């Protein structure tokens, strides 16, 4: 697999009260097209990654909605898989290019969440869960709190271990102008923040954000660009929707399988990865991802490594995880997240990430999860030096 | 393009009060897998075509939802494009096979609409329209009524012309055990039925239905089957979401473009088509489709031909349109429709359609539309004798 990432862009993530989803999409798309030096007329297909436009906005023809907004008549579809909608839209774009039917595909991820009452958004987000979970009154912090408890009991993970993830990712976001949050935080601040769903506290949780991101994919590199980044692995796996139906709750099996698929396609191993954007919707989720993606061989060991400053920018070890700040601190506009991850890794592999540039980043990975692990998407990217 | 349709099945369409969406999907999938002689474990990816699970059911992780129901962990995603969601899901399945990443893809179309208040469903269906149309209080019968008036004024189409389409499709449905309606109707009955949105009357409109359909696609034919049907064209086009933004309202430009794309891929012309399932959400929509798909060279001429018994089973002319009864009389469970069209044409091309079999059917076409023509999907299929 060798799909050229021709152009990328993201809007700022955050509480964007004065901006509509249309404006966000236009900003991201214009940025990605300019970056790709590709005209809108040369786009053969549009995939829109989005979760909540139906429930929150009563809009369920979202491919055509944005095609009209952009003023083109390319093939279009919305792709939905809860919080993995963006990653799944990228995967569909990859399939479209590989199929030979499409030469240039525009992938858009977008979500506008802050225009709605928080309790309405929390209820809408349970659209990613099972009927039983909703009837039980569970929310996503509650589901990940159950997983966190399992990790604490089975592997001795502590609240302090989880807090270290938040500290790392808020530090990274403090270097990122398009992040939702910009202030470094301390472990003490995380541990002292309001309880949300025991053991998870406010600063263990990713925020409700607005934002859009866009990526232009192509069959071949564009002449003239010094270093085109390529997607060399794109894999999706599914698990039970209901957390209670799984035999393991300290690991996301869908992530393990999607990662195996992507590594195999790419002919790479976890130790080859220089930079990764992992799905840290809660701090515990990043610790599990470090193991599930093959970056660490045990949950407690992964936690110790984070606590000792690994996976952090400017650490002495090579792999940096969530240099953007991740979902945790860069923000999590649900459908945009999986597309933004591709934007971040592409910019890192091009050496365009400024203050948060990971040195010698040649191979990168993105990891996007829907629900409590019901669907996972892993992409592997490389630059021309790898 | 040469994608094998390995297996197909549909549930009965109708007001299925005693059946859940899960049960409908299981029935359709079990049927399609048995027909394909493919085991569930051999499926590499699932695409679910659905429009309203979010708005009506607060479920937005539908790929994983049905993967769990079926008990597999294949890659999964929901594909949404309003009433074209099913056709778009088939298109994604085709891309998946063409990409080389997937060897067997299961495409599911499903919608459960009658469990909700009709006015709630009518409002949810406006999720396929533009913001302006919703603010104006338009509904889909209203939008198609505007198109019908334009066709009447510009081309002299009459209410009687439209009624003839309903008569044809209800006759076809009377021969179809899985159709929503089973009684032949007369033109007088159509003209005397309650007004819905002038000039459209109750019997000009497709019903609100429940149902599911499933298709197994593969890279190569299964050994042992005498006549495997293949998809040889799969094309999508998009137009403005808002009817008012179009220069033409007596034709769906997205249909014209999608059809051109599919004919080109297939190396076929309109005159090669023996049997077609066209998107007749309202009677006027089928008249427009007959022209847009290239089956007739003028709207009034198309209407006269329908009125003279053409496009009907056992007519002396070869092309039969909507032998299943179409959306109009077989029913229109939104996300299921585009998949059911593939089921119907596959069975026709295999010669398995019993009382409604089109004689000498070797090349077929399906046509699925989202919104008032904002997105259109056209597939062309052939059997081994063509």
Look at residue B79 and give its three-state secondary structure.
Answer: strand
Q: Does B306 touch chain A (CB under 8 A)?
A: no
Quick: pLDDT tens for B111-164: 999 988 888 898 899 888 999 999 999 999 999 999 999 999 999 999 999 999
pLDDT at A386 (0 to 100): 84
pLDDT confidence tier of residue B83, bands split at 50, 70 and 90? very high
Q: Is the complex ipTM higher than 0.90?
A: yes
Partners of B77 in beta bridges: B47
Quick one: pLDDT at residue B119?
85
Structure tokens at B3: 């994608």
- Given a cut of 90, whether residue A268 has pLDDT beyond it is yes
Q: Which of A60, A123, A238 sits opposite B63 (nearest CB)?
A: A238
Contacts of B126 in chain A (CB under 8 A): 58
Which residues neighbour A15 within 8 Å (Cβ) at sequence distance 6 or greater? A114, A180, A209, A210
pLDDT tens readout for residues B184-206: 999 999 999 999 999 999 999 99
Rounded-to-integer distance, Cα B232 and Cα B365, Å: 10
Asked if residue A226 has pLDDT above 90, the reply is no
B226 band by pLDDT with thresholds 50, 70 and 90? low
Determine the average pLDDT of the residues in B312-329: 95
User: In this predicted model, what pLDDT tens digit does every residue of B331-352 receive, in sequence order?
Assistant: 999 999 999 999 999 999 999 9
Q: For residue A227, name the pLDDT band (cuts at 50, 70, 90).
A: confident
**pLDDT above 90: residue A104:** yes
**Terminal Cα-to-Cα distance of chain B (whole angstroms):** 15
pLDDT at site B122: 87
Q: Average the pLDDT over A216-226 and give the result.
A: 78
Contact B98 A101 (CB under 8 A): yes
Q: What is the pLDDT of residue B188?
A: 98
Over residues A296-311, the mean pLDDT reads 97
CA angle (B173 as vertex; B167, B177 as ends), nearest 5: 160
Per CB-CB distance under 8 Å, the chain B contacts of A78 are 79-81
Tens digit of each residue's pLDDT (9 = 90 or more) over A347-361: 999 999 999 999 999
A267, pLDDT greater than 70: yes
Give the residue ranges of DSSP H helices in chain A.
21-36, 53-57, 62-70, 85-99, 118-125, 131-135, 140-155, 159-173, 187-192, 253-266, 283-292, 299-307, 326-330, 334-350
User: Three-state DSSP class for B233?
Assistant: strand
Cβ neighbours of A167 (radius 10 Å): 22
Q: Do B101 and A234 touch (CB under 8 A)?
A: yes
Are B172 and B328 a contacting pair, CB within 8 Å?
no
- Asked if the Cβ–Cβ distance from A64 to B242 is below 8 Å, we say no
User: Does A83 participate in catalysis according to the annotation?
Assistant: yes
- The stretch B37-61 carries a mean pLDDT of 94
Which of A106-120, A289-303, B25-39 is predicted least confidently?
A106-120
Q: Using CB atoms and an 8 Å cut-off, which of residues 100-159 of chain A contact chain B?
A: 100-101, 123-124, 126-131, 134
Q: Do A73 and B239 touch (CB under 8 A)?
A: yes
Q: Where on the phi/psi map is residue B242: left (φ > 0), alpha (ψ -120 to 50), or beta?
A: beta
Q: What is the pLDDT of residue B123?
A: 87
- pTM, rounded to two decimals: 0.97
CA angle B66, B69, B73 (to 5 degrees): 70
Residues in chain A within 8 Å Cβ distance of B92: 77, 92, 95
Residue B153 makes CB contacts below 8 A (sequence gap 6+) with none
CB contact under 8 A, A77 and B236: yes
Chain B contact set for A74 (CB, 8 A): 238
A74 band by pLDDT with thresholds 50, 70 and 90: very high
Q: Which range among A68-72, B287-291, B342-346 shows the weakest confidence by mean pLDDT?
A: A68-72
B 316-335 near A (Cβ less than 8 A) = none
Contact B101 A88 (CB under 8 A): no
* pLDDT over 70 percentage in chain A: 99
Decide if A362 contacts A385 (C-beta within 8 A): yes
**Residue contact B101–A101, C-beta within 8 A:** no
Q: CA of A237: which chain B residue's CA is closest?
A: B75
Please report residues of B whose CB lies closer than 8 A to that of A61: 80-82, 127-129, 241, 370-371, 374-375
Given a cut of 80, whether residue A375 has pLDDT beyond it is: yes
Q: What's the mean per-residue pLDDT of chain B?
A: 96
* Residue B371 near chain A (CB below 8 Å): yes
pLDDT digits (tens, 9 = 90+) for A149-163: 999 999 999 999 999
pLDDT at A223 (0 to 100): 61
If we measure between CA atoms, which residue out of B43, B101, B99 comes closest to residue A98? B99
Is B83 an annotated catalytic residue? Answer: yes
The pLDDT value given to residue A229: 96
Predicted confidence band of residue B96 (pLDDT cuts 50, 70, 90): very high
Provide the percentage of residues in chain A whose pLDDT is more than 90.
Answer: 89
Q: What is the pLDDT of residue B223?
A: 61
Is the predicted pLDDT of residue A81 greater than 70, yes or no?
yes
CA distance B181 to A379: 47
Contact criterion met (CB < 8 Å) for B126 and A254? no
Nearest CA in chain B to A85: B77
Do residues B87 and B258 lie in contact, with contact meaning Cβ atoms separated by under 8 Å? no
Q: Taking CB atoms and an 8 Å limit, are B236 and A75 in contact across chains?
A: yes
pLDDT at position A118, please? 86
Nearest to A237 among B73, B124, B234 (CB): B73
At B22 the pLDDT is 95
Distance from CA of B128 to the nearest CA of A (A): 5
Q: Please identify among residues 254-283 of chain A the ones whose CB lies closer than 8 Å to any CB of chain B.
A: 254, 257
When pLDDT is averaged across residues A12-39 and rounded to a whole number, the result is 97
The neighbouring-strand residues paired with A108 are A48, A214
Q: Which of A120, A82, A108, A114 is nearest to A15 (CA)?
A: A114
**pLDDT score, position A236:** 98
Q: What is the pLDDT of residue B224?
A: 61
Mean of pLDDT values over A230-239: 98
Instruction: Tell me the pLDDT of chain A averaged across its residues.
Output: 96
| pLDDT attached to residue B252 | 98
Query: Which residues of A are less than 8 Å from B132 in CB distance?
Result: none
């Amino acid at each position: 697999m060798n799909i050229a990432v021709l152009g990328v862009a993201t809007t700022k993530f955050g509480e964007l009260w004065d901006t509509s989803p249309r404006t966000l999409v236009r900003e991201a798309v214009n940025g990605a097209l300019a970056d790709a030096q590709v005209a809108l007329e040369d786009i053969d297909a549009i995939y829109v990654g989005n979760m909540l436009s139906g429930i929150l906005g009563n809009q369920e023809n979202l491919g055509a909605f944005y095609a009209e907004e952009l003023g083109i008549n390319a093939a279009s579809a919305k792709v939905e898989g809860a919080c993995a909608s963006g990653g799944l839209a990228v995967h569909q774009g990859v399939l479209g290019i590989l199929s030979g039917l499409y030469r240039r595909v525009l992938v858009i991820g977008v979500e506008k969440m802050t225009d709605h009452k928080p309790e309405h958004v929390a209820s809408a987000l349970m659209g990613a869960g099972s009927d039983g979970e909703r009837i039980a009154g569970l929310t996503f912090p509650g589901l990940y709190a159950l997983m966190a408890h399992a990790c604490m009991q089975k592997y001795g993970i502590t609240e302090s271990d989880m807090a270290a993830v938040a500290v790392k990712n808020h530090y990274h976001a403090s270097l990122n102008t398009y992040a939702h949050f910009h202030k470094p935080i301390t472990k003490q601040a995380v541990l002292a923040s309001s309880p949300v769903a025991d053991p998870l506290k406010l600063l263990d949780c990713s925020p409700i954000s607005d934002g859009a991101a866009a990526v232009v994919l192509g069959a071949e590199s564009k002449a003239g660009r010094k270093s085109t980044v390529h997607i060399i692995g794109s894999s999706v796996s599914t698990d039970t929707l209901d957390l209670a139906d799984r035999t393991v709750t300290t690991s996301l099996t869908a992530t393990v399988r999607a990662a195996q698929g992507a590594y195999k396609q790419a002919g790479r191993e976890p130790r080859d990865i220089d930079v990764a954007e992992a799905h840290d919707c809660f701090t515990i989720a990043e610790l599990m991802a470090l193991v599930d993606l093959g970056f660490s061989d045990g949950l407690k060991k992964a936690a110790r490594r984070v606590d000792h400053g690994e996976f952090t920018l400017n650490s002495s070890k090579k792999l940096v995880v969530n240099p953007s700040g991740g979902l945790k601190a860069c923000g999590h506009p649900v459908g945009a997240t999986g597309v933004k991850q591709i934007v971040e890794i592409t910019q890192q592999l091009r050496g365009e990430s400024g203050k948060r540039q990971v040195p010698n980043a040649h191979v990168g990975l993105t990891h996007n999860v829907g629900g409590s692990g019901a669907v996972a998407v892993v992409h592997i990217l490389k630059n021309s030096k790898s």
